[in-house]
Structure 1
Amino acid sequence: MDALISYLRDFVSLNQVLSPVYLLSFVVVGYVIFKWRGREGGQAGGFWSFLFPRRIWLSASVRTDLWLFAIGQMMILFKVGARFAATPMVAAWVVVNGPGPVLDGVTVSPVLMALILLMITDLSLYWVHRAYHTVKTIWPLHAVHHSAAVLTPLTAYRQHPVGNLVSLTFNSILIGTMYGLVIGSLTNDVTFATIAGANAFIVVLNLVVTNFHHSHIWVSYGPVLERILISPAQHQVHHSTNPAHFNRNFGQTLAIWDWMFGTLYITRKDEVVTFGLDGDADAALMTQRLGPILIDPLRRMLRPAQ
């Protein structure tokens, strides 16, 4: 019972993009977009059909999203990935065993620290995400996420269970090490809670745009801002079957990493985007059946030549 209460408390907190707070903001911001486009003459029909169209939410792809979401939440409830999620512990170890502060007497404000942690996290997630696309051994796990034929906020949880464990491991090592090195170089007065605490910048971004990254609603920031922040449109392009869009926009929040490392794609008004995978190797995933989606990636990892 304690585990269930802890799980429910965490789910309604600001750590999950499907928390009630973020879903409410999705509806509110969606309403603003709906009214804005209606004023410009580019939107017809009612608000709820605009935000939750039946053709998308009743699709086989969304049903698969729900199954994978349920499996992922069961893993959290029963702490299946607890030993793989060790970012704060890795960071704390690096702080204790690292070289220590290099800037004596310098005080780092909480706002600056939050910004630093955001950039570290986002840079690490960029490289982990890019590795999923470029390392053939682990691509089949991430292909599950890209097999979504439609995008909804649920698609963020469309992850293979083994992929969840691999991501937790990669993120714990990479983000934890970078946290420890940066925080340890700034101060030796750091607590476990500081490292594990929620980042105010991430909360604000989740409130405003995160759930639109996996949605049917096209929101572009324009060519200037899309070099700084990843727009929902840029992430939708990342899910495209168009070869021109392949291996682009790996960033989660910041577009500067894609810009720096040559993977940035700036969206245009006339983009035509179809979601999913159209290669023969991924055909089993596009059946939207849970069995092949769970089994085929493991088969491909164990027998890559077949």
Structure 2
Amino acid sequence: MDIFAAFANKLPAQLLSPGSFFSIYALASGLLIGFAYLALRQKRRRGHVRLRPLARAFFRRGLLLHRSTRADLFYLFVNVYLTAVFIGWACLTVGPVADAVRNALTGALGPRPTSAAPDLAARALVTIVGYLAMEWGYWLDHYLKHRVPFLWETHKTHHTAERLTPLTAWRVHPLDSLLFANITALSFGAAMGATRYALGSAATFAFADVNILTAIFFYTFVNLQHSEVSLPLRGLAGRLLMSPAHHQIHHSIDPAHYNSNLGNSLAVFDWLFGTLVVPPRESPRLKFGVVEPGVDPHSITELLVSPFGAVARALTPKAAEGILTIQAVTPPMNSAAPKSDEISA
């Protein structure tokens, strides 16, 4: 009974835990920020604010009832209830990685020196280092999945979304989640092991057991990134932070946008490695999706089953011969994409 109750409570936990990116609190915060941005933009352009157009930006029928959105809802249940079971046995965890790094440093450099850093400063440093390590792991994982053919096949499911809503964040194949969990465990675990060796502690400033810097992202931009509200950051801010408009460009079917804006909450790694596209001030009226003739991107078979076969085919020797060919490692999108409604918000 306890196992059944824990299983049944998985979705309510996502919705009610303050530390969840998909909590009702984070969703409401993002919604308020989006409404405020659109209201200010409408006021600046027209001199007044009309609530109905603002509401349509988030709740119009064509968005909420689109097959893409229904497919996202299917993947919400897949990932909440099944993916953790699938990947749990095959994932590195942060603790052992951190211990291995700390022990390796101890063996190479000797016992940890006594740290004179005040507790407040040490916590601040660990918080920043941990946040940057997770962001680096996210960027590296994302970069590899857009550059290596068989990894792209695990990630492509996410890009088949033709409409963007906060549910799209759940449109992730279990193989994609498996790779992501291992890469971020390595990056974050290595950072925590190094800080434990240097400072003797890995305590962070946290909100609901989440790094406070990550929590700020959860309550500001994360749920607007998968939306059709083009809220851009430009200038220096647009080179440091991943605004909703940045991530919408990442989902664009425009070839000029392929393999760009790979960061999570930071744009700085994209800036450093040449994958950054700063969004324009006005909405570029993007279209989203992946084009594969004769393939229904929203069917359960294509969403859940086909990626396993696609990965196997991509790993064959013949497919591997094309790994350095630009065309082979570019997401299979083109200008012949089915037309979806343009962003109007």
Shared fold, TM over 0.5: yes
State the Cα distance separating 1:297 from its structure 2 match.
1.5
In structure 1, the partner of 2:137 is: 124
Partner secondary structure for residue 266 of structure 1 = coil
Is the 1:214–1:235 contact (alpha carbons within 8 Å) kept by the matching residues of 2?
yes
Specify whether residues 85 and 63 from structure 1 end up closer, same or farther in structure 2 by C-alpha distance, changes over 3 A only. farther
Larger deviation, residues 8-17 vs 290-299: 8-17
Specify whether residues 242 and 201 from structure 1 end up closer, same or farther in structure 2 by C-alpha distance, changes over 3 A only. same
Is the 2:133–2:187 contact (alpha carbons within 8 Å) kept by the matching residues of 1?
no
How far, CA to CA, are the matches of 1:193 and 1:97 in structure 2?
Answer: 26
Cα deviations across residues 14-71 of structure 1 (Å, max 9, x unaligned)? 3422111101112221221232123123675614322222111110000100111111
In structure 2, the partner of 1:174 is: 187
State the Cα distance separating 1:88 from its structure 2 match.
3.3
In structure 1, the partner of 2:200 is: 188
Is the 1:234–1:249 contact (alpha carbons within 8 Å) kept by the matching residues of 2?
yes
- Identity level (%): 24
Aligned pair partner of 1:49 in 36, 52, 56: 56
Instruction: Please report the TM-score for the alignment, with normalisation by the length of structure 1.
Output: 0.88
Would you say 1:70 and 2:80 are equivalent positions? no
How far, CA to CA, are the matches of 1:30 and 1:252 in structure 2?
Answer: 18
Is the 1:214–1:232 contact (alpha carbons within 8 Å) kept by the matching residues of 2?
yes
Would you say 1:22 and 2:26 are equivalent positions? yes
State the Cα distance separating 1:10 from its structure 2 match.
5.4
How far, CA to CA, are the matches of 1:266 and 1:247 in structure 2?
Answer: 13
Aligned pair partner of 1:292 in 289, 299, 302: 302
How far, CA to CA, are the matches of 1:126 and 1:218 in structure 2?
Answer: 22
In structure 1, the partner of 2:94 is: 87
Aligned pair partner of 1:201 in 213, 238, 241: 213
How far, CA to CA, are the matches of 1:111 and 1:53 in structure 2?
Answer: 43
How far, CA to CA, are the matches of 1:79 and 1:12 in structure 2?
Answer: 21
In structure 2, the partner of 1:301 is: 311
State the Cα distance separating 1:121 from its structure 2 match.
0.9
Is the 1:88–1:176 contact (alpha carbons within 8 Å) kept by the matching residues of 2?
yes
Which amino acid counterpart does residue 144 of structure 2 have in structure 1?
Answer: A
How far, CA to CA, are the matches of 1:198 and 1:172 in structure 2?
Answer: 15
Which amino acid counterpart does residue 293 of structure 1 have in structure 2?
Answer: L
In structure 1, the partner of 2:162 is: 149
In structure 2, the partner of 1:106 is: 117
How far, CA to CA, are the matches of 2:28 and 2:277 in structure 1?
Answer: 30
Is the 1:14–1:21 contact (alpha carbons within 8 Å) kept by the matching residues of 2?
yes
Specify whether residues 191 and 104 from structure 1 end up closer, same or farther in structure 2 by C-alpha distance, changes over 3 A only. closer
Would you say 1:36 and 2:73 are equivalent positions? no
The RMSD of aligned alpha carbons is 2.7
Runs of at least 5 residues in structure 2 that lack an aligned partner in the other structure: 320-345
Partner secondary structure for residue 287 of structure 1 = coil
Which amino acid counterpart does residue 166 of structure 1 have in structure 2?
Answer: L
State the Cα distance separating 1:97 from its structure 2 match.
4.3
Would you say 1:265 and 2:277 are equivalent positions? yes
How far, CA to CA, are the matches of 1:277 and 1:6 in structure 2?
Answer: 34
Is the 2:94–2:185 contact (alpha carbons within 8 Å) kept by the matching residues of 1?
yes
Is the 1:92–1:192 contact (alpha carbons within 8 Å) kept by the matching residues of 2?
no
Instruction: Please report the TM-score for the alignment, with normalisation by the length of structure 2.
Output: 0.79
Specify whether residues 187 and 246 from structure 1 end up closer, same or farther in structure 2 by C-alpha distance, changes over 3 A only. same
Is the 2:205–2:212 contact (alpha carbons within 8 Å) kept by the matching residues of 1?
no
How many equivalent residue pairs?
300
Which amino acid counterpart does residue 90 of structure 1 have in structure 2?
Answer: V
Which amino acid counterpart does residue 187 of structure 1 have in structure 2?
Answer: L
Aligned pair partner of 1:135 in 144, 148, 172: 148
Aligned pair partner of 1:221 in 200, 214, 233: 233
Would you say 1:242 and 2:254 are equivalent positions? yes
How far, CA to CA, are the matches of 1:19 and 1:141 in structure 2?
Answer: 26
State the Cα distance separating 1:96 from its structure 2 match.
4.1
How far, CA to CA, are the matches of 1:210 and 1:103 in structure 2?
Answer: 39
How far, CA to CA, are the matches of 2:92 and 2:169 in structure 1?
Answer: 18
